[in-house]
Chains A and B, each alone.
Chain A
């Protein structure tokens, strides 16, 4: 590399390779930009504009939308206060998504373990059955859940029939209903990555642990969970993110009163006619997801290191 670099054939070849590399990447990058960054950029720009009277935006720069994410102005005396409705919804979204992730994990882990320990040929049947609900429209699945838990629904009718309760237990339009719905809807998203991780698990390691006097619980904690951790992480992310932005399930099962972030955003673009606020809320959602992910991944990594 002592000769002048311009006419060194190896450098030229390298430049060519770099150029070809980018050329080959170009289609993928274009799609990525158009499909992901592009819309995101539009949303970001919209969040800094003024809202039009009948929806849409007025092309005048403004930070009002961002302001309104956190604060609200009193209609009468113009005083400022925290937009606690928004904060409440944000908090509820995070809480419900968090618990949905936990319940799908608790239900999904044994399910995935069960499937992964079946003989090879019957595993596909079980996996197929896990994905069957995806074949039906989300709305229909959500209504099915409603049919089960509403006051005149299957559970209440049954409980009253066998005399456990006298009056129906109110489950519809509660956080509980939303959580049941989301757990049901997102369970496959937890099971599939968990299964993928468990299928790769070398079960002779489980036998080795049993052999070395580990009881079933110890085997689970010390061997299985650490080894399928990537699956747990992937499943949790796959459930938490869409749960945070969910709007069909909370709308149907929460009865419009128990709003989540997704509903709030949808409201701004619809009846609320405040696109910039909707856009700002969307970006907020994105930020929350990113922060949550970062914290989560960090914690998992730290735990993994502690185990070493």
Chain B
């Protein structure tokens, strides 16, 4: 069934799975000084997907990427590409290309030579190489600068050359290690859109590394949130944002309110929670969890509104009001002293209804609570 998989590099639309990492462990160093950079990571990345590895500095994102690229090899576990175990293949035998964080463009070659390098190494004919280089230059809109040296172009241009160089050999998987982190805000936004366009046009699987949650949410088909060498949760941006399963995920992505509550009943992925205010609400459960006793639930600030005391699910004292133009943030203290933030979108000519020091009610949107797997 998989007989000609290797002969069809450009056939990006074949069904199936692109990359599977299975129980991958990577340990650097020995003895007391050893670092467990990846601790039993398993993930399946689908064909043609924009997959993002998101996590704080040092959580192992680059390490995982380097294992997929072949610059390093797992201490244990396997990495498969289309069913084939590639864990110990050298980089030049993998149909995987990388856009490096610092771009790593060859300083002794022109823009065009950089882009053509991979094809040249694959032994393509000169006219073939020239053809693809022209196409790539057009794709990343760098035609005029083809004969420039790479140290004579701007950061954003270097980034596009790095992208074109990695795309030119038509890899099955493109790895991008924080490629936008060196760019300023405006350029970054433009490049985000451009990257999405390129992924769409080429149909290549993108594995994208970032520690910017906003970037991850806007660009990805799916996100894996990492912490300390482990993948905590994998899901679509919406799943990750609306249904964080762990405290770390909820905290890392977006602003979050944490509520302590008691479970009164649970069934079918839902639970009934008794809040500190004495009222009961519905909450979603993480997959496969049967909760009991005391749990932590999260609710996003934009899913709560201020109401007159007693009318909401919670009561609190208004401590601070922060006006942010589009939004206003209301910082409250709940009856059990826990902090709580309510975000509301501003209307024009709105009157300030709630004053600091006042006791107010907090209404939670139905279905806005998520229980954490603590």
| A interface residue numbers (CB < 8 A to B) | 202, 204-205, 207-215, 218, 222-223, 226-227, 304, 307-308
Q: How far is the CA of A209 from the CA of B71 in the complex (A)?
A: 11
| Closest residue of B by beta carbon distance from A223 | B106
Asked if B159 CB lies within 8 Å of chain A CBs, one says no
Q: How far is the CA of A308 from the CA of B70 in the complex (A)?
A: 29
Asked if B92 CB lies within 8 Å of chain A CBs, one says yes
List residues of chain B with CB within 8 A of the CB of A213. Answer: 92, 118, 121-122, 169
Q: How far is the CA of A210 from the CA of B92 in the complex (A)?
A: 5
Contact between chains at A218 and B121 (CB < 8 Å): yes
Contact between chains at B97 and A211 (CB < 8 Å): yes
Interface size on B, residues (CB 8 A): 26
List residues of chain A with CB within 8 A of the CB of B98. Answer: 207-208, 211
Asked if B165 CB lies within 8 Å of chain A CBs, one says yes
List residues of chain B with CB within 8 A of the CB of A211. Answer: 69-71, 91-92, 96-98, 166
Q: Which of B97, B109, B118 contacts A308 (CB 8 A)?
A: B109
| Closest residue of A by beta carbon distance from B116 | A212
- Which of A208, A209, A308 has the most chain B CB atoms closer than 10 A to its own CB? A208
List residues of chain A with CB within 8 A of the CB of B100. Answer: 204, 207-208
Contact between chains at B121 and A214 (CB < 8 Å): yes
What sequence of 0s and 1s flags, for each residue 100-124 of chain B, a beta carbon within 8 Å of any chain A beta carbon? 1010111111100100011001100
List residues of chain A with CB within 8 A of the CB of B96. Answer: 211
Counted as pairs of residues, one from A and one from B, with CB atoms less than 8 Å apart, the total is 66
List residues of chain A with CB within 8 A of the CB of B107. Answer: 205, 227
Contact between chains at A307 and B90 (CB < 8 Å): no
- Chain A to chain B contacts (Cβ below 8 Å), 10 pairs: A204-B102, A207-B100, A208-B98, A211-B71, A212-B97, A214-B92, A215-B121, A227-B107, A227-B108, A308-B109
Contact between chains at B108 and A202 (CB < 8 Å): no
List residues of chain A with CB within 8 A of the CB of B69. Answer: 211
Which of B57-95 touch A at CB < 8 Å?
A: 69-71, 90-92
User: Which 4 A-B pairs rank lowest in CB-CB distance, beginning with the nearest?
Assistant: A212-B118, A208-B104, A213-B121, A210-B91
| B interface residue numbers (CB < 8 A to A) | 69-71, 90-92, 96-98, 100, 102, 104-110, 113, 117-118, 121-122, 165-166, 169
List residues of chain A with CB within 8 A of the CB of B117. Answer: 209, 212, 214, 222
Contact between chains at A212 and B71 (CB < 8 Å): no
Contact between chains at B108 and A212 (CB < 8 Å): no
List residues of chain A with CB within 8 A of the CB of B105. Answer: 208
Q: How far is the CA of A4 from the CA of B90 in the complex (A)?
A: 73
Q: Which of B71, B102, B106, B110 contacts A210 (CB 8 A)?
A: B71
Closest Cβ–Cβ distance, residue A39 to chain B (whole Å):
40
Q: How far is the CA of A171 from the CA of B117 in the complex (A)?
A: 47
Contact between chains at B109 and A212 (CB < 8 Å): no
List residues of chain A with CB within 8 A of the CB of B165. Answer: 212
List residues of chain B with CB within 8 A of the CB of A227. Answer: 107-108
List residues of chain B with CB within 8 A of the CB of A204. Answer: 100, 102, 104
Q: Which of B71, B109, B166 contacts A207 (CB 8 A)?
A: B71
| Closest residue of B by beta carbon distance from A219 | B92
Contact between chains at B104 and A308 (CB < 8 Å): no
List residues of chain B with CB within 8 A of the CB of A210. Answer: 70-71, 90-92
List residues of chain B with CB within 8 A of the CB of A307. Answer: 108-109
Q: How far is the CA of A267 from the CA of B104 in the complex (A)?
A: 56
Contact between chains at A207 and B121 (CB < 8 Å): no
| Closest residue of B by beta carbon distance from A204 | B104
List residues of chain B with CB within 8 A of the CB of A212. Answer: 92, 97, 117-118, 121, 165-166, 169
10 additional A-B residue pairs with CB within 8 Å, beyond A202-B102, A207-B98, A212-B169: A202-B104, A208-B100, A208-B105, A210-B90, A211-B71, A212-B97, A212-B117, A213-B118, A214-B92, A218-B121
